[in-house]
């Protein structure tokens, strides 16, 4: 009987705390993944813009010649 009381008093809150921690950790992982994808997209957009700028300059210099 005492074992069940100890389990209820300490075990249930411990399990609830662990479950909440796992849920928070999962949310943080999802947020980090979203930020990582957004940064990768921004880097790719910057590279694409730079390539387009270089091509544009090259095309203008070819037309002048």
Query: Do the domain assignments include residue 1?
Result: no
Rg (CA), the chain: 28
Q: To the nearest whole number, what is the mean pLDDT of the chain?
A: 92
| Entry pTM | 0.61
Instruction: Judge whether 5 lies within some domain.
Output: no
Burial of 45 (0-12, 13-18, 19+ CB in 10 A): exposed
Residue 51 tokens, joined? 């390539």
pLDDT at 65 over 60: no
36 belongs to a structural domain: yes
* Residue 61 pLDDT level (bands cut at 50, 70, 90): confident
Structural domain contains residue 16 = yes
- The domain of 35 spans 11-65
- Is position 35 within any domain? yes
Residue 25 lies in a domain: yes
Q: How many domains does the chain fold into? A: 1
Nearest to 26 by CA among 18, 15, 37: 18
- What is the distance between the alpha carbons of residues 28 and 32, in angstroms, rounded to a whole number? 6
Residue 62 lies in a domain: yes
**52 is a domain residue:** yes
């Amino acid at each position: 009987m005492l074992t069940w009381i100890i389990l209820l008093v300490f075990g249930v809150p411990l399990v609830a705390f662990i479950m909440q921690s796992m849920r928070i950790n999962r949310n943080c992982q999802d947020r980090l993944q979203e930020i990582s994808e957004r940064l990768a997209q921004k880097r790719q957009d910057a590279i694409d813009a730079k390539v387009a700028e270089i091509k544009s300059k090259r095309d203008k210099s070819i037309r002048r010649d």
